[in-house]
Amino acid sequence: MERIYLDHAATTPMHPSVVEKMMEAMANTFGNPSSIHSFGREARHSIDTAREELARSIGAKENEIIFTSGGTEADNMALFGVAEGYQHIGKHIITTKIEHHAVLHACQKLEKLGFEVTYLPVDETGKISLTDLSRELREDTILVSIMYGNNEVGTIQPISEIGQLLKDHQALFHTDAVQAYGIEGIDVNRCGIDLLSVSAHKINGPKGIGFLFSRDHVKLVPRSFGGDQERKRRAGTENLASIIGLHEAVRISGKMQTEKRSAFIEYKEIFIQQLTEQNIEFKLNGILEESLPHVLNLSFPGTNVEAMLVNLDLAGIAVSSGSACTAGSVKPSHVLVAMFGEESERLTNSIRYSFGYNTTKEQIIKAACETAKVVSRLKK
């Protein structure tokens, strides 16, 4: 039985070229980047080259890229670093109800430390209101953290408009771009972004590496102490092999971006068409336009998410939901709760399909047909 992986929003398989570059680095480039001898200089050159590529990919400067252990650390570094660095100006932060838990849980911790956090609502498409954001801005607001594209339903926020709104305000603008980077063209200057989080394992790179873009004027208090690495913003010997892997993943992702976008948009259309032709009842969570092309979240009335996931897995289809499934209970997706309310049936019957560079049209057709079979069987 062919196993079809349609959970790329959770993590992606490493690209063979990334594996090759990392193996080569682990075998041959073992010097400490902080050492001044030739072995250290070789390692430092690899890091500098990677930093250049990453900065170029978002229109940033090299000194504005901070390597992290992934998206969670990047989010935490942005929120806690800014909160501590600017608390003398104000202690008010604005975010949304649909952020990744790396942001939400960080905000909850900051509330315990005396900061005030406003959680913006979203409409049924998953978008915030610029009017709401404008209304909630205060003189003591120091940070606005709004994700670029949602990891569960794919909705893209009006990032450029948010940046424009904050242009004349003291608040810094952070965006969690973990799900959008590599698939959306991002320019931090055009969008007015001050801080941006990225994770390698979402773009066919290794787990455990990512970066935070922090504009050079941002006062970012470090979260770790020891050496002078990352211009004293993040202590610790750099994870060289993973940085090289991230560099290669970014390089490949940049070359394939247009091709991937076109393919993923077509995959969504094919998937929906297949379900429609087989008279399967479903509802789209989010919107097709202004959404991440690789994320498709569907609600199947009359089904149960746990049964759907198990049956699809038995059919060789790997997908996910926004729910944390445990024995005998389901914790509803906070994203779907924010979009549809706590009483919506969509909380218990929604499935996320997400595509990657090695997904094929044939796999999409088969996955849609298997989904149709499972839905029909469960509704009998």
Instruction: List active site positions.
Output: 325
**From CA 141, how far away is CA 143, in angstroms rounded?**
6
For the record, the structure tokens of 297 come out as: 């979240």
**From CA 294, how far away is CA 78, in angstroms rounded?**
26
**From CA 33, how far away is CA 45, in angstroms rounded?**
8
CA distances in angstroms from 106 to 62, 75, 81, 102, 268, listed in the order given: 27, 8, 11, 6, 33
For the record, the structure tokens of 316 come out as: 């060789």
Name the amino acid, one letter, at 347: L
Facing residues of 184 across strands? 181
For the record, the structure tokens of 347 come out as: 């909380």
Taking alpha carbons only, the member of 345, 313, 294 closest to residue 179 is: 294
**From CA 359, how far away is CA 353, in angstroms rounded?**
11
CA 200 remoteness from chain centre: 10
